[in-house]
Structure 1
Amino acid sequence: MNTKYVDLINQTFDFPQPEFALEKDKLFFHDIDLNKLVEAYGTPLKFTYLPQISNNINRAKTWFDSAIKKYNYKGEYKYCYCTKSSHFKHVLDEALKNDIHIETSSAFDIDIVESLKASGKIKDDTFVISNGFKRAQYITNIARLINNGHKNCIPIIDNYEEIDLLSNEINSTYNIGIRIASEEEPKFEFYTSRLGIGYKSIVPFYNKQIKNNPKVKLKMLHFFINTGIRDTAYYWNELLKCLKVYISLKKVCPSLDSLNIGGGFPIKNSLAFEFDYEYMIDEIINQINVTCEEEGVDVPNIFTEFGSFTVGESGGAIYEVLYQKQQNDREKWNMINSSFITTLPDTWAINKRFIMLPINRWNSSYERVLLGGLTCDSDDYYNSEQHINAIYLPKYDKEKPLYVGFFNTGAYQETIGGYGGLQHCLIPAPKHILIDRDVQGNIVTKLYKGQQQSEDLLNILGYNKTPETSETQEQKNTTFSTIS
């Protein structure tokens, strides 16, 4: 009878897979011996495998190039990285090796762009697509970037007031885009996205505020739907509606030459994951080509803003099972040495699924378990509701440590969880390891940041303030008289 964990995986999935392999009973990820990583750095830990960022960028660029050649498409393709997925410098440095462009979401993003530009990572011809609802500081920072000569910064207009706000601070003519307020999927809580301008209002908006405005040139139409790019009737219907707006706008606005189809490529969340990226890109290019040809307008340049697809599959987290609690006759809780709420907040907030596999002991027999985190919150768990199937792991043995890995966690977890700050129940943030390859292809690891210490948290909470900090704070204190 096949009762080993390795037998369960082989019977359930097509295994090994391109990024996963097994040597004896130890798991390898992109040829990285994860057990050696644990031996070197301990757990809990997070890691970022930098080469996967470049790998995914170039996969997408190859698919688009192939479709453009196949259909003799006359426009160009521009790959943008959606910075809100992960703002870390090591992520941007790796992504920018691949001749890509940037999409921003807030004022501080522009500060990051300027820092990267000063270091030569971003060039004058790099497109900076500035999305989002623009508060005063974001407007000021965009204007500063453009005033300093970055003509390829394109603010995407999200509401009717933004053109006037931008024009008040930008000294020269500048290019803009308009975001379509897409209609959400029927089962969604509301009908229309809060972002952008409605389909029917875009051409009137252009005629009223842009057409005769000598300072502004419309270059881009921006389209994104919350469910992402998926092969559904809903997606193709929304894309067709977007193309109708583009064609109507193009007929009255010759300067319009680009269509931004946003992001939303899914990433692998299970060993059973299947998604035909190449087909989706092929069909998107085909539909745009055919629709524009039928209407007699030039096809647009295509921009995408892939965030999770760029960085998600580079990340992972490894925990140790500390203890097993038998809470009743059916439920066994394996307690990890960290917290899901704090280190993988998407599992708690939106029931996000990640690939979960043990790092060692694949030749042990297995059992069904629940996984629990260290916080005192009843929601700090990862079980079959979050996972595709029930969780099976090698049987707990207090004499034999068991390590569990979660993979493709590289997007959003640090920013949602609050990297470097306070965590729920003051659970310390784990150490973070960067993994790269040298020119010979050898794996190189580096400790990016150690695990949070109590002093770090006490400083944030005000218990260990330095005299200088306290004095500065006192100078800012002000007493107000009460009104009698």
Structure 2
Amino acid sequence: MNTKYKDLIEQTFDFPQEEFRTENNNLFFHDINMMELVKEYGAPLKFTYLPKISENITKAKKWFANAIEKHNYKGTYNYSYCTKSSHFKYVLDEALKNDIHIETSSAFDIDIVKSLKKEGKLKDNAFVLCNGFKRDQYIANIVSLIDGGHTNCIPIIDNYEELNLLLEETKSKFKVGIRIASEEEPKFEFYTSRLGIGYKNIVSFYEREIAENPQVELKMLHFFINTGIKDNAYYWNELSKCLSVYIKLKKVCPTLDSLNIGGGFPIKNSLAFEYDYEYMIDEIISQIKAICDKEGVDVPNIFTEFGSFTVGEAGGAVYEVLYQKKQNDREKWNMINSSFITTLPDSWAINKRFIMLPINKWNHRYERVLLGGLTCDSDDYYNSEQHINAIYLPVYEKDNPLYVGFFNTGAYQETIGGFGGLQHCLIPTPKHILIDRDSEGKIITKLFKEQQKSEEFLSILGY
């Protein structure tokens, strides 16, 4: 009878997979022995596998290049990284090795851009796409880039007032984009995104505010769907409406030459994950070309702003199961030595699921459990996986510790969780390490940040 955890996984999924395999009943992630990592650094532990960032950027560039060649598409493709997914320097340093561009969302982002330019990491001709709702400090920082000669800094106009705010601050000529306020999915709490300008108002806004102003050049139309790029009627319908606006705008605005289709590529959240990236890219390029050809206008240069896709699959977290509480005849609570609310806040806030696998004991029998965090909060738990409303793990043994890994957690969790700041119930931010490879492919690790100490909390709290 097959009752081992490894049997369960191999019977349920196509396993091993590209990034996951087992050896001597321990888990390997991108050929990294996770148990050896735990032995060296302990748990709880956060880690970032840097090569995965470059790998995903390279994949996306190749997919777009193939589609552009296949359809004889005359525009270019430009990969931009959405910095809000992870602002950490080690992420930007790795991503910028791949000749990409930057998308910002707030004032302090521009300070990061300036730091990267000063170091020579961000090229002077790189595009800096400035999204978000802009007020005094953000406007001032954008203008400082424009006045400093960064000609490819493109503020994306989010509302009717922003253009005037920019014009009041600079006499330099500058380029702009306009963001479309897309319609949300029918099940959403509201009909139209709060970001951008409505479909019907964009052409008139251009003709009224930009067309006769020699200081401003409209270069880009920005389109973003909150639920991401998915092969469903909603996405294709919104893309079609976006292209209709682009065609109308292009016919009155010859300087318009770029379409930003935003971000929203999904990342792997289950061993059963399936998504045909190549098909989606091919279909997007095909539809854009077909509609532009039909209307007799030049196809736009394509921009994307991939955040989670860039960095999400590079991150992970490892916890130790400290104890098992049996609260009734059916529920077994495996208590981890950290908190889901503080270290994986999306699992608590929006019920997001990550890939969850044990680090060791794959040859042990398995049991159904719930995972509980250390905070005294009833919502600090993890109770299901993406493909099933349950969690199965090797059987708990008091004298033989079980370690549990959560994978593809690299986007948003640190900043939403308040990295280096106060944490719920004063649970410390775990130790964080960076994993890279040298020129010969050998794995190298580096401590980025020690686990938070009580003195840091007390200082913030004023003690």
Quickly name the TM-score band, shorter chain normalised.
over 0.9
**Mapping 1:460-475, distance limit 5 Å:** 460-463=460-463
**Cα deviation code 1:106-149 (max 9, x no counterpart):** 00000000000000001111000000000110000000001000
Match for residue 268 of structure 1? 268
Partner of 1:39: 39
Distance in 1, Cα, partners of 2:353 & 2:335: 19
Residue 240 (structure 1) aligns with: 240
Partner of 2:71: 71
Q: Distance in 2 between matches of 1:427 and 1:163?
A: 44
Q: Map 1:125-274; keep pairs closer than 5 Å.
A: 125-274=125-274
Aligned residues: 463
Q: Structure 2 counterpart of 1:311, which letter? A: V
Deviations 1:54-104 (A, max 9, x none): 000000000000000000000000000000000000000000000000000
- How many angstroms does 1:384 deviate by? 2.1
List gaps (5 residues or longer) in structure 1: 464-484
| CA contact 2:356–2:385 (8 Å) conserved in 1 | no
Q: Flag the structure with larger Rg.
A: 1
Q: Cα deviations across residues 361-414 of structure 1 (Å, max 9, x unaligned)?
A: 000000000000000000000002777431000000001010000000000001
Judge conservation of contact 1:353–1:387 (CA < 8 Å) in 2.
no
385-394 vs 241-250, which moves further: 385-394
Shift of 1:172: 1.1
Aligned twin of 2:319: 319
Given that residues 269 and 386 in structure 2 are in contact (C-alpha distance below 8 angstroms), is that contact kept between their aligned partners in structure 1?
no
C-alpha separation between the residues in 2 aligned to 1:266 and 1:382?
21
The answer for the alignment partner of 1:306 in structure 2 is 306
* 1:438 matched residue in structure 2: 438
Do 1:351 and 1:386's aligned partners in 2 also have CA atoms closer than 8 Å? no
CA distance in structure 1 between the partners assigned to 2:385 and 2:112 by the alignment: 38
Task: Tell me by how many angstroms 1:212 deviates.
Answer: 0.5
Asked whether the 8 Å contact 2:362–2:394 carries over to 1, the reply is yes
Alignment-derived partner of residue 353 in structure 1: 353
Alpha-carbon distance in structure 2 between the residues aligned to 1:296 and 1:105:
34
2:2 aligned partner: 2
Please state whether the residue corresponding to 1:7 is helix, strand or coil.
helix
Cα deviation, residue 50, structure 1: 0.1
Q: Secondary structure at the match of 2:360?
A: coil
1:171 Cα deviation after fit: 2.4
Gaps of 5+ in 2: none
Sequence identity of aligned pairs in percent?
79
Whole-Å Cα distance in 1 between the matches of residues 111 and 37 of structure 2?
Answer: 34
Q: In structure 1, how many angstroms separate the alpha carbons of the residues matched to 2:315 and 2:135? A: 32
C-alpha distance in 1 between matches for 2:432 and 2:422: 16
In 2: Cα distance, 1:21 partner to 1:170 partner? 56
* 2:20–2:27 Cα contact (<8 Å) kept: yes
**In the aligned structure 2, how far is the partner of 1:78 from the partner of 1:385?**
35
In structure 2, the residue matched to 1:335 is: 335
Instruction: Show the counterpart of 2:281.
Output: 281
The residue identity in structure 2 corresponding to 1:322 is L
User: Residues 270 and 388 of structure 1 are in contact (CA less than 8 Å); yes or no, is this contact kept in structure 2?
Assistant: no
TM-score normalised over the length of structure 1? 0.95
Separation in structure 1 between the aligned mates of residue 177 and residue 185 of structure 2, nearest angstrom: 24
One-letter code aligned to 1:401 = P
CA deviations on 1:447-469 (whole Å, 9 max, x unpaired) are: 10000111111111111xxxxxx
CA drift at 1:24: 1.6
Counterparts of 2:385 and 2:187, CA distance in 1? 20
Equivalent residue, structure 2, for 1:95: 95
Does residue 21 of structure 1 match 2:21?
A: yes
Query: Which residue identity does 1:365 align to in structure 2?
Result: R
SS at match of 2:103: strand
